[in-house]
C-alpha cells in the first residue's frame, strides 16, 4: 500500500464509523478467503456431489407426477401437450422439406424446358 492510503486508514476521531468500516472490511475479507478455501476443497466437492445426486434421485418421482398431472390438465382443457406440439413441428418440417424438393424439381424442369426452347 502507498503511504497516502495508510494515512487515510489511520484512526480518525472525527469519523465515528471509520473504525466500524475497517472492522467490516477486515471481516468481509476474512470470510471471503475462508469461503474460497472451503469451496475449493475436495470434501466440499464430494459433499455437494452427494447432495445433488440425492436431490436428483428424489426429484424424479415428483417430476413424473407433475408431468402426469400437467398432461391431464391440458387434456381436460383441450390444449396441446408438449408432445403434440413437437409432433406438429416435425410434420411441418417434413412438409417444408417436401415443398423445397418439389420447388427444386420444378426449377429443374423449367430450366430444361427453356434450354429446349432455345435450342429449337
Domain ranges of the chain: 80-120
Distance of alpha carbon 19 from alpha carbon 25, whole angstroms: 10
d(CA 42, CA 48) in angstroms, rounded, equals: 10
Q: Looking at residue 95, what is its pLDDT?
A: 98
What angle (nearest 5°) sits at the alpha carbon of residue 97, between those of residues 96 and 103? 90
Q: What pLDDT sits at residue 1?
A: 44
How far apart are the C-alpha atoms of 102 and 107, rounded to whole Å? 9
Give residue 103's pLDDT: 96
pLDDT at 115: 85
Please tell me the predicted confidence (pLDDT) of residue 116: 83
Model-level pTM? 0.45
Q: From residue 80, give the alpha-carbon distance in Å to each of 83, 88, 89.
A: 8, 10, 12
Q: Cα 56 to chain center, whole Å?
A: 17
Q: How far apart are CA 11 and CA 81, in angstroms?
A: 67
Per-residue pLDDT of the chain (120 residues; tens, 9 = 90+): 444 445 455 677 788 788 888 889 999 999 999 999 999 999 999 999 999 999 999 998 999 999 999 999 999 999 999 899 999 999 999 999 999 999 999 999 988 888 888 876
Amino acid at each position: 500500500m502507498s503511504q497516502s492510503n495508510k494515512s487515510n486508514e489511520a484512526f480518525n476521531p472525527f469519523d465515528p464509523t471509520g473504525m466500524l468500516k475497517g472492522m467490516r472490511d477486515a471481516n468481509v475479507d476474512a470470510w471471503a478467503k475462508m469461503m474460497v478455501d472451503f469451496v475449493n476443497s475436495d470434501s466440499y466437492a464430494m459433499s455437494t456431489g452427494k447432495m445433488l445426486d440425492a436431490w436428483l434421485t428424489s426429484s424424479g418421482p415428483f417430476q413424473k407426477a407433475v408431468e402426469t398431472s400437467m398432461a391431464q390438465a391440458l387434456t381436460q382443457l383441450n390444449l396441446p401437450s408438449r408432445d403434440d406440439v413437437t409432433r406438429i413441428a416435425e410434420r411441418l418440417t417434413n412438409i417444408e422439406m417436401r415443398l423445397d424438393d418439389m420447388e427444386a424439381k420444378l426449377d429443374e424442369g423449367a430450366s430444361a424446358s427453356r434450354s429446349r426452347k432455345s435450342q429449337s
